[in-house]
Structure 1
Amino acid sequence: MLTLHTAELLVPGAGSAPLTGGAVLVEGDRIANVGPYEDLAAVHPHARARRWPGVLTPGLLVRGADVLLERTYYPDDPYESAELGTDPISGADALEALKMTEVRWGHSARRGTQKLLARGVVAVAGRFTVPAVRTAVARSGLAILPPAPYEGAPALDPFAGRDAAEEAFHGVLEQGAPARFAVFAVPDPAALPVQGATTCVATVIGGRLLHRRR
């Protein structure tokens, strides 16, 4: 089935000129075409249309994901919020007090991957040593890449510490490329490092809508 994803502004990739009213045509897990929505809709009148507010960009990459998912615990809200609060927990002493097990790390990682998907992340770089965590990441749909250099502390928000949004992009939106992208409720790409990835309204991986802000 063909699906047309369109937003007020489309940014195909780093260094690409934004396209007003642009769209991505998805077939299966691949991008079938990219261009003006009106043109693609005219050629494919039976394609399902998904209209999003804001800016549609390539999905984002997070580096240091092993720190975020194997050395950070995400409390199970609401069941643990009264005891642990809702903020992520890190630090050797705090984690030791939690008496973490592999199973508990796996549950935490699933909650962590949902937070990443809700920020437009489609790929993570890191070396996972806890089998349950690696399984949770693989099942989430996120691509797992080898560790890559990064500055500062890893963050759930790929735009944190970035001067330009394109520094966090993973891949480009072009015909034949994997259908993985995100949409953010901002007026233009320049606003992303300021307003952050929590403005994400949709994340698509492998042609599937894995996050949609309610």
Structure 2
Amino acid sequence: MLTIHTGTNHDAVAVEGDRIAAVADVDALRAAYPGARVREWPGELRPGVGWDSTLPQAPSPRERVHALLLRGVTAVAPGSLSDDPGLGPAAARVGLPVGSPTPLHADVRADFAVFAPDGSCLATVLGGRLVHRRK
């Protein structure tokens, strides 16, 4: 199902499967994809954050990876997962890639985040999947 994600900055991405189908202002995407589901976020939609140091401490590898999603992280540097053998599998399960954050362009993997005016992360999307949403 095609989903349009839009933020308060009026930037929007159309996501189909795990890829970005198009990037434009929200009105253009609504016109181009009239049957799409639309998620309107109360923050700025933009590429996610990269993480290049040790992951935050938490009781389990899964919770350490989740701590990154809460910050809008959409990619980790290779060495970031090396201090615990459970981190690599935990990151892979949620779809957190090793490398650099992906730009918001058509035909790339749909990895992005939405940030509130105070800088906190409202939502994180990896491979087209909503993996974190602040309640």
TM-score after normalising by structure 2: 0.90
Could you list the structure 1 runs, at least 4 aligned residues long, displaced by more than 6 angstroms after superposition: none
Structure 1: runs of 5 or more not aligned: 10-20, 76-107, 146-168, 187-194
The residue type paired with residue 70 of structure 2 is A
Counterpart among 74, 79, 88 of residue 122 in structure 1: 74
SS at match of 2:27: helix
The residue type paired with residue 111 of structure 1 is E
Structure 1 residue 32 and structure 2 residue 16: aligned?
no
CA distance in 1: counterparts of 2:131 and 2:49, whole angstroms:
14
Structure 1 residue 200 and structure 2 residue 131: aligned?
no
Question: Which residue of structure 1 aligns with residue 131 of structure 2?
Answer: 210
Structure 1 residue 6 and structure 2 residue 11: aligned?
no
CA distance in 2: counterparts of 1:172 and 1:57, whole angstroms:
8
The residue type paired with residue 131 of structure 1 is P
Question: Which residue of structure 1 aligns with residue 33 of structure 2?
Answer: 44
Larger gyration radius, structure 1 or structure 2? 1
User: Number of matched residues?
Assistant: 133
TM-score after normalising by structure 1: 0.58
SS at match of 2:8: strand
Residue 129 of structure 1 and its aligned partner are, at CA, apart by 5.7
Structure 2: runs of 5 or more not aligned: none
Residue 134 of structure 1 and its aligned partner are, at CA, apart by 1.7
The residue type paired with residue 75 of structure 2 is A
The residue type paired with residue 112 of structure 1 is R
- Residues 42, 143 of structure 1: CA spacing in aligned structure 2 closer, same or farther, 3 A cutoff? same
CA distance in 2: counterparts of 1:129 and 1:22, whole angstroms:
37
Question: Which residue of structure 2 aligns with residue 54 of structure 1?
Answer: 43
The residue type paired with residue 121 of structure 1 is V
Q: Is the 8 A contact 1:138 1:144 kept in 2?
A: no
CA distance in 2: counterparts of 1:170 and 1:73, whole angstroms:
22
Residue 173 of structure 1 and its aligned partner are, at CA, apart by 0.4
Question: Which structure has greater helix proportion?
Answer: 1
